[in-house]
């Protein structure tokens, strides 16, 4: 009893929950005494990882984002943001409630038909595990960081001399000539010994490993065929119809034809007047009894309706432009409108028939009711099956057979695949990540249910784990031999190019040596730093702009390019661009932005060096 009493005192003093839970506010780092919560770091990194997966699709490498280095880089970004936020607040910067509301209202993801929708807003936040308060706090922080950066960016400036220098360098033109020496010319001269192959194999075993692979068996649950199991009674559909009658009201609609006299935008008053008079004349002719269809075919500028005699079919409200619609819905059947002005021109409208607003009958609404009922019932049944799959896969975590038997699913087996994925089910990034997780790969248990789509759930387990292994020498012999041949051929090509370059300096120049060795000399005149010349490798041109400017004599060099070629090259001239003309403002703005960005980076670095930062490395993993 005494021991129990002592333990009770300890629990009462410290809280029994501390023995079983981790505080959600546990910090992963502190910045000048302000904590970055572990929960915020975990959620932020998960969101970042999800964004990268959406961006890269099947090319996404989950293992890369599991590296401690990547998590630490993400934490560093959070630390930098916190430092800038603190500096912004110290500088008196703030985001008003009105600014925040305008920003939220401008986000397209929260809009329906171009208007902010609170239901969509709340639903999207819920999907991200966020409350409106959490989202607004984060948006406010983002805007504050942007405000801090824009405040500094607005101070960037450049001097006229700097703009002129940038223009001279960026738009400099260079003229050069070259002939090339290819490694392919020497491939037949190269011999590779068995000893070299073995040495290459033994010294570079990591390059000749077969990757780690798995073969998985899996259950795939979809809603295919569930609609065939649903029994629908007419009584239930009729009941739904009676409960939702107000949904099935057909709006008033009007059967109309028109003649359009187009008027060019920004036309003067006389042009508008002439179009109006022409339209008025057509109205008079229609009212006098001339066939409207014929008048439309001969006079309308609306290509879409002209050949149909001006027919626009049935029109409901909120379909046409306001002026046209206002005139149409004010008319009596069988009448012709006075000229109607819209942004498209001047219209003459003929209202042929009116169908008053009315409610759909049960028979008219039945197909829609049936589709909705089936959709809802299939969704309900799929969710029930999904819940059973969850329960069954956890009840017997070492086998898929109980779940397969209970749900009537087939256990499917994949081909062997590595961390980069494979065909069929192995294309799914979630499947790859689950298959290579320690829980599934090493412990042999079922994966958590993977929701691959709204109506597609998969549970898998590893049937076979194939460890990475060194490929036999015979399997990679040709690969090694080819690689060594290329290496040796490149060295021979480089040596030949250096020898030919020396000859160009002593035997009459580039053209003379090119002719003597039957090599084609390519002339490149007035090449620009970022431009392209037909027949000249762009990478080679970039290398030319790293050479010093020629003084009295050409600059000559051997430059590797194109992977396996070497250029024996003479640079003859380098001409700076003339003084800045019309492009001066554009160059100045670029320099301003560049200087401002450097100032922002410098400020961030200074703030970071001055900050008191503590990182709890052991809490970064999760």
Average pLDDT, the chain: 85
The CA–CA distances, whole Å, from 80 to 29, 84, 608 equal: 12, 6, 7
Amino acid 120: pLDDT: 80
CA distance 11 to 535: 81
Domain-embedded: residue 108: yes
145 with 31, same domain: the answer is: yes
The H or E element that residue 480 is part of is: helix 473-506
Domain-embedded: residue 8: no
CA distance 312 to 308: 9
| pLDDT reading at 179 higher than 60 | yes
Residues 194, 593: contact at Cβ < 8 Å? Answer: no
Domain-embedded: residue 190: yes
**Average pLDDT for residues 417-443, to the nearest whole number?**
89
Domain-embedded: residue 622: no
Amino acid 265: pLDDT: 77
| pLDDT reading at 185 higher than 70 | yes
Q: Which residue has the higher pLDDT, 308 or 22?
A: 308
Amino acid 9: pLDDT: 36
CA distance 569 to 555: 8
Among residues 145, 80, 86, 36, the alpha carbon closest in space to that of 604 is found at 80
Domain-embedded: residue 541: yes
Domain-embedded: residue 619: no
Give Cβ neighbours of residue 452 (< 8 Å, ≥ 6 apart).
428, 430, 431, 458
198 with 260, same domain: the answer is: no
193 with 93, same domain: the answer is: no
Amino acid 579: pLDDT: 66
Q: Please identify, among 448, 467, 486, the residue that sits at the C-terminal boundary of a domain.
A: 467
Q: Which residue has the higher pLDDT, 390 or 584?
A: 390
29 with 150, same domain: the answer is: yes
Task: Please report which confidence band the pLDDT of residue 480 belongs to, taking 50, 70 and 90 as the band edges.
Answer: very high
Amino acid 285: pLDDT: 95
Amino acid 8: pLDDT: 40
Q: What is the pLDDT of residues 98-154, one digit of tens each?
A: 888 888 888 888 887 777 887 788 878 876 767 888 888 888 888 888 877 777 777
Residues 300, 306: contact at Cβ < 8 Å? Answer: yes
- Cα dihedral value 44, 45, 50, 55, nearest 10: 100
CA distance 511 to 521: 7
Task: Please report which confidence band the pLDDT of residue 233 belongs to, taking 50, 70 and 90 as the band edges.
Answer: confident
Helix axis angle for 473-506 and 194-203, nearest 10°, is 110
Amino acid 61: pLDDT: 67
Indicate the number of domains in the chain.
5
Enumerate the β-bridge partners of residue 495: none
Q: What is the pLDDT of residues 421-430, one digit of tens each?
A: 888 999 898 8
- Residue 62 domain boundaries: 25-154
Q: What is the pLDDT of residues 543-567, one digit of tens each?
A: 999 999 998 899 999 999 988 999 9
Amino acid 505: pLDDT: 94
201 with 56, same domain: the answer is: no
CATH code at position 69 = 1.10.4030.10
Task: Please report which confidence band the pLDDT of residue 1 belongs to, taking 50, 70 and 90 as the band edges.
Answer: very low
265 with 341, same domain: the answer is: yes
42 with 128, same domain: the answer is: yes
**Average pLDDT for residues 393-415, to the nearest whole number?**
92
CA distance 594 to 156: 8
Amino acid 584: pLDDT: 63
């Amino acid at each position: 009893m005494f021991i129990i009493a002592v333990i009770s005192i300890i629990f009462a003093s410290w809280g029994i929950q501390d023995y079983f839970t981790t505080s959600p506010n546990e910090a992963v780092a502190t910045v000048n005494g302000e904590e970055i919560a572990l929960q915020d770091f975990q959620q932020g990194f998960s969101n970042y990882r999800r964004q990268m997966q959406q961006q890269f699709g099947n090319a996404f490498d989950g293992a890369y984002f599991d590296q401690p280095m990547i998590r630490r880089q993400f934490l560093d970004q959070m630390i930098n943001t916190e430092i800038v936020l603190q500096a912004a607040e110290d500088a008196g910067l703030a985001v008003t409630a009105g600014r925040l509301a305008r920003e939220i209202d401008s986000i397209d993801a929260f809009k329906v038909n171009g208007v902010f929708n609170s239901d969509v807003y709340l639903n999207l936040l819920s999907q991200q595990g966020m409350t409106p308060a959490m989202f607004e706090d984060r948006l406010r922080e983002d805007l504050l960081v942007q405000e801090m950066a824009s405040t500094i960016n607005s101070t960037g400036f450049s001097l006229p001399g700097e703009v002129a220098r940038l223009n001279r360098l960026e738009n400099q033109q260079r003229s050069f000539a070259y002939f090339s020496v290819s490694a392919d010319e020497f491939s037949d001269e190269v011999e590779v010994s068995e000893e070299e192959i073995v040495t290459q194999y033994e010294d570079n075993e990591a390059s000749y490993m077969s990757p780690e692979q798995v073969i998985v068996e899996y259950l795939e649950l979809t809603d295919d065929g569930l609609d065939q199991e649903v029994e629908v009674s007419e009584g239930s559909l009729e009941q739904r119809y009676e409960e939702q009658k107000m949904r099935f009201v057909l709006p008033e609609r009007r059967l109309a034809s028109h003649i359009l006299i187009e008027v060019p935008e920004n036309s003067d008053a006389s042009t508008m007047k002439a179009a109006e008079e022409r339209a008025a004349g057509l109205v008079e002719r229609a009212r006098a009894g001339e066939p409207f269809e014929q008048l439309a075919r001969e006079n309308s500028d609306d290509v879409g309706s002209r050949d149909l005699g001006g027919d626009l079919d049935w029109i409901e409200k909120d379909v046409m432009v306001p002026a046209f619609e206002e005139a149409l819905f004010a008319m009596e059947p069988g009448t012709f409108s006075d000229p109607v002005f819209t942004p498209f021109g001047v219209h003459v409208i003929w209202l042929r028939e009116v169908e008053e607003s009315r409610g759909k009958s049960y028979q008219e609404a039945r197909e829609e009711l049936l589709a909705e009922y089936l959709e809802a019932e299939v969704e309900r049944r799929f969710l029930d099956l999904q819940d059973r799959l969850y329960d069954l896969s956890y009840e017997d975590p070492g086998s898929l057979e109980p779940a397969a038997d209970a749900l009537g699913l087939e256990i499917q087996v994949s081909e062997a695949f590595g961390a980069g994925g494979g065909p069929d089910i192995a294309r799914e990034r979630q499947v790859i990540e689950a298959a290579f997780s320690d829980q599934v790969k090493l412990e042999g248990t079922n994966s958590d249910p993977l929701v691959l789509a709204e109506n597609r759930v998969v549970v898998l387990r590893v049937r076979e784990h194939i460890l990475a292994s060194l490929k036999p020498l015979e399997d990679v012999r040709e690969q090694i031999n080819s690689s060594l041949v290329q290496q040796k051929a490149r060295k021979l090509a480089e040596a030949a190019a250096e020898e030919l370059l020396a000859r160009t300096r002593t035997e009459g120049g580039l053209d003379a040596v090119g002719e003597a060795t039957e090599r084609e000399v390519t002339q490149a005149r007035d090449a620009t730093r970022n431009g392209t010349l037909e027949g000249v490798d762009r990478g080679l041109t970039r290398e030319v702009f790293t050479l010093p400017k020629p003084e009295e004599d050409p600059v000559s060099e051997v430059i590797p390019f194109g992977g396996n070629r070497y250029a024996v090259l003479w640079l003859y001239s380098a001409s700076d661009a003339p003084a800045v003309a019309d492009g001066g403002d554009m160059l100045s703005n670029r320099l301003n932005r560049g200087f401002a960005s450097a100032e922002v980076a410098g400020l961030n670095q200074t703030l970071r060096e001055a900050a008191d930062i503590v990182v709890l490395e052991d809490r970064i993993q999760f």
